[in-house]
Structure 1
C-alpha cells in the first residue's frame, strides 16, 4: 500500500508560531473586531509564512515525484504541485479561517491583549525568529543539525530546556502534531482513491495511518525540540517565558485553537489534492 512520507516541517501543522490548541474556550465571548483580526494576521507575518510553506511544499512535491514516478519526467505533476501550493489560494483559506475563528472565539479584550503582544511585546522579536528558523529548515543540513542539538537541550542549557520543555508540555504540542499529521495522511489516501489510481478500502487506510503513529510521534518530538531551539536559542529567556504565559491565557487559547483549525484545514486540502494528482496520473487520467 502506498505511503506518503510527510516532511518533518509538515508534521507540525500548527506549530508555525509555536502556539497550538490549549482547548476550546468555554462560553461565547463578545465577537472580536474583524479589523483587529486582520491586523493580527499581518502582525504575525502569516503571508510571509505561507511563502515559506510553499517552498516546503515544492520540496515535498519533488520527493513525491521521485517516489511515485521513478525514472520518469512528470511535468504535469510538477505543474500541479505548483498550483496546489499557490500562495494566494493558501492565504485565502488561512486568512478566512483566522479572521472568522477569532471573531467567534476572542473577545475585544483578548484581541487587544494579542495585538499588544505581537505589536509591542515579546511577539515583535519572536515572530521574526520563528520565520527565520522556518526558512533555515529549508536546508536539510541545518534542520538535521538543529534536531541533533535539540535531543540534549536540557543538558546543554537547563534554563532553555526547561522553558522549551514546559512550553511543549503545556500546549500538548507533540500529540496535537501527531493528530494533525495522521489526519493529513488520511486525507492523502482519500485523494489516492478519488484519483482512480488506487483501490483502497477505509479499513486499510485507517490501519496504515495508525501504523505510523509512534514513528510520527518520535519524529514530531525531535522536530519540535530542534525547531524551538533554532528559533528561540538566541532570544532573551524573558521573551520565551512571556510566550509560555500567553499560551496559558484565554487569549492565547483562542489564538491557539484558531491556528490549529486553520492549518489543519489547509493541510488536509493540500494533501488530498496531492493524492488525487498522483493517483490521476497513475491511472492515466488528466489532472
Structure 2
C-alpha cells in the first residue's frame, strides 16, 4: 500500500514546522461509498487487506500530536474545552473513515478490484502490509526516524537494495504524490488560519509562501521515503520487493495507488483546513 507520508514541512511564513495529522477509524459503512465495479463485499475485503484501521490509527496519533504542537505554539492560555472539542471533531473516527472510503472507492470507479485483492490478500501482500504498519509505528519515535534518515544520508544501505527502493518510489510516483499532498494541505491550513485577523493573508500570499518552500519540501520528502521504505522492507528479499514493484506497474496497482492518495488527500485537506479554522476561532475568543 502506498502510505501517505507524515511529512514535516517548514512554512516560510509565521508557522514554523507542521506535521501531517491523521485520524482513527471507527465503524466504516461500505455502503457509504459506491462504485460501478466494486461491490460492498470487495470494498470491505480491500479495506481489511490493506489494514486501513491500523493505518488510520497511526495517523490519528500523529494528528493528535500535531494539535498539541499547534496549541503550544499559537494558543498559549487559549486551549479550553472548546479547543478540545474542536480537535475531537477534526479527528472523529467515523467521519474520517467514511471520507477516506468515499474518496478511495469513487476514484476506483471502472477499475477491476480482483487483481488488487489477489495481491494484498496473498501471504506476500499481507506481510508487506504488516511491515509497513510496523515501520510507521517505529517512525512515531522521532529519534528512530532520524536514525533511519541518517542511514540514507551516509549511504549505509546496500546500494542494490536502495536501487530497488528507488525503483519502487518511481513506479508509484511517491515523491510527486506526497509533495503535492503536503502543499495542498498546507494551503488548506493557511486558508483556515487566515480567517484570523492576527494571521490575515491573501490567497496569493498563501500560495507564494507554500510554493516558495516546494524545493525543500520535495527534497525532505524524498529522504523520508527512502528512509521509511528501506526500514519497512528490510526483511523482504529482493525477489519479494521485485514482485511488489511488478504489481505496482500493473493497471490495478496504479489505480489503487492513485485511489489511496485521493482518499487520504481528501481527509488531510479537510483536517488541515479545520485545524486552521479552529486556531483562528480560538484566537478570536469564539466558542467552537
Query: Could you tell me whether the CA contact under 8 Å between 1:38 and 1:99 is conserved in 2?
Result: no
| Equivalent position SS for 1:105 | coil
Match of 2:110 among 105, 108, 125: 105
- Structure 2, gaps ≥5 residues long: 1-12, 23-34
With normalisation by structure 1, the TM-score equals 0.85
Tell me the residue number matched to 1:177. Answer: 178
Hey, what's the Cα distance between the residues in 2 that align with 1:82 and 1:248? 39
Query: Could you tell me whether the CA contact under 8 Å between 2:152 and 2:227 is conserved in 1?
Result: yes
Hey, what's the Cα distance between the residues in 2 that align with 1:115 and 1:121? 12
Tell me the residue number matched to 2:149. Answer: 147
Match of 1:3 among 15, 18, 27: 15
Hey, what's the Cα distance between the residues in 2 that align with 1:112 and 1:121? 16
Hey, what's the Cα distance between the residues in 2 that align with 1:198 and 1:215? 23
How much is the aligned-residue C-alpha RMSD, in angstroms? 2.1
> Are 1:50 and 2:56 counterparts?
yes
Query: Matched residue pairs, number?
Result: 263
Hey, what's the Cα distance between the residues in 1 that align with 2:117 and 2:195? 42
- Structure 1, gaps ≥5 residues long: 14-28
> Are 1:90 and 2:96 counterparts?
yes
Tell me the residue number matched to 2:203. Answer: 202
Please give the per-residue CA displacement for 1:234-278, whole angstroms capped at 9, x wherever unaligned: 222222111111111000011011111111111000000000000
Distance 1:150 1:87, change over 3 A: farther
Tell me the residue number matched to 1:214. Answer: 215
Considering fraction of residues, name the structure with more helix.
Answer: 1
Q: How does 1:114-263 map to 2 (within 5 A)?
A: 114-153=116-155, 156-194=157-195, 198-263=199-264
Query: Could you tell me whether the CA contact under 8 Å between 1:4 and 1:188 is conserved in 2?
Result: no
Tell me the residue number matched to 1:16. Answer: none
Hey, what's the Cα distance between the residues in 2 that align with 1:73 and 1:3? 17
Hey, what's the Cα distance between the residues in 2 that align with 1:242 and 1:173? 18
Please give the per-residue CA displacement for 1:58-89, whole angstroms capped at 9, x wherever unaligned: 1111111121124x361333442232112222
Q: How does 1:31-70 map to 2 (within 5 A)?
A: 31-70=37-76
Hey, what's the Cα distance between the residues in 1 that align with 2:16 and 2:183? 10
Hey, what's the Cα distance between the residues in 1 that align with 2:78 and 2:150? 35
Please give the per-residue CA displacement for 1:16-54, whole angstroms capped at 9, x wherever unaligned: xxxxxxxxxxxxx97233321221111101011111100
More relative contact order in 1 or in 2 (CA 8 Å, sep 6+)?
Answer: 1
